Structure 1
Amino acid sequence: MSKYEDIYEAAADNYGLVTRDEAVAMGVSDKELSRLTSHGKLTRIGHGVYRVKHHVPSPFDPFAESVAAVGPDAYLYGESVLAMFSLCPTNPTKMFVATPKRVRRKLPEGMKVVQRKGASDVTCYEGIPSQEVGAAIRSCIGKLMPERLHAAVEEALRQGLLKKEEADRVDSEVGS
């Protein structure tokens, strides 16, 4: 297999994304990454993050890209978790990503990084590291209207993202 085929295989299960560190682990040098980018086989979408050319877009792409752009240990946070599942209307121009580390790299406009150390409310949805839905709704209390958060709880319950007991607990925390 060629180096590009190795990269493509790795990226196929990750929304067409591959990081520099993943490529290096496959034996791809920085020079080869640069060559693949200049030949149009890869598109650089952020610091150390690339998308393969023949990727079929999905609605989850912006969320996967945002987490990859922030770096290892990053995960979708708050409003962005709600947006990923269309649980309630949110601000589409902002993407919230949390990480336990300080981020110094330049990120796309509209991306908000939240530094959270020792978070225990992280899971994976659709292959994207994310804050758990119940915790994401709680983190939006005071930032989104209570009516929207109540609707988010109902929709999360309907989609099977929350169990009835947790939905009731989160709904009571939202208040009115």
Structure 2
Amino acid sequence: MLAREALREFAEEQNGMLTRRQAVEDLGLSSGAVDNLVARGRLDRVAHGIYRYPHLPGMADEQYQVALLRTGDPDAALSHETALQLHELSDVNPARYHVTVPQPLRIRRSDNDRYVVHVQPLTARQVTWWHQMRIVTPAAAIEQCLVYGTPTYLLRQAIDQGQRIGSVRNDDATRLRAALETRT
């Protein structure tokens, strides 16, 4: 298989994007080959070490894919207030992208103020998919936001909306409301 075809197939799984690390470690390309693909316009640089395959349709919300890819962890998931916003459960409007990884990571980049990386092992029951990206479930996002300090009115709104549309089970809604009332 040609490198270009392998890149395309890999990028298709991630909304048209991939990292330099994935190209080198998973696809066997050299770092120089990646640089050549960028120079020839076969890959577009989106962020440090993150590229878009230009011959695939992009997505309007590619910044969320970038947030996941920049962690370098395949088990990373969109979380906290970012997940609440994407699940459309409340009027929360996070100033930064929240991502949860199972193990501590050290990410050194100049744009770190745009991202919050939380460390929490997630079970399979706590994770779902949104536009080919891992994201915590509505109930897990509300739980995370309880601890994170999201305003109470936004969490009440999220629980009510989630229960109304069926994305938060009744027993979870009851448990989350009780936790919200006892939050200090």
What TM-score bracket applies, with the shorter chain setting the length? 0.7 to 0.9
What SS does the aligned partner of 1:129 have?
strand
Q: Name the residue aligned to 2:157.
A: 151
Aligned residue number for residue 106 of structure 2: 103
Segments ≥4 residues shifted beyond 6 Å = none
For structure 2, the residue ranges without an aligned partner over 5 or more in a row are none
Q: Which moved more, 1:60-69 or 1:20-29?
A: 20-29
| 1:42 aligned onto 2:19 | no
Segments of 5+ residues of structure 1 without an aligned counterpart are none
- Aligned partner of 1:171 in structure 2 is 177
Contact kept in structure 2, 1:75 and 1:122, CA below 8 Å: no
- Measured against aligned partners, the alpha-carbon deviations of 1:31-84 in whole angstroms (never above 9, x if no partner) come to 111111112221223343221113433354222210111111322221111112
* TM-score, with length taken from structure 1: 0.83
Percentage of pairs with the same residue: 24
Q: Secondary structure at the match of 2:90?
A: coil
2:22 aligned partner: 22
- Aligned position for 2:7: 7
TM-align CA RMSD: 2.4
For the residue of structure 2 that corresponds to 1:175, the secondary structure is helix
Question: Matched residues in 1 for 2:122 and 2:49: separation?
Answer: 25
Q: Match of 1:125, SS? A: strand
Q: What does residue 115 of structure 1 align with? A: 119
Contact 1:123 1:129 in 2 (8 A): yes
Q: 1:128 to 1:35 in 2, by over 3 A?
A: same
CA distance in 1, matches of 2:55, 2:164: 34
Q: Does the residue aligned with 1:83 lie in a helix, a strand or coil?
A: helix
The reply to whether residue 130 of structure 1 matches residue 99 of structure 2 is: no
Contact 1:138–1:174 (CA<8 Å) still a contact in 2? no
Q: Distance in 1 between matches of 2:10 and 2:2?
A: 13
1:53 equivalenced with 2:57 (yes/no): no
Code of the aligned partner of 1:138: E
Q: CA deviation at 1:122?
A: 4.3
Aligned length: 175
Q: Which has the higher helix share?
A: 2
1:32 maps to a residue whose letter is: A
Deviation at 1:131, TM superposition (A): 2.9
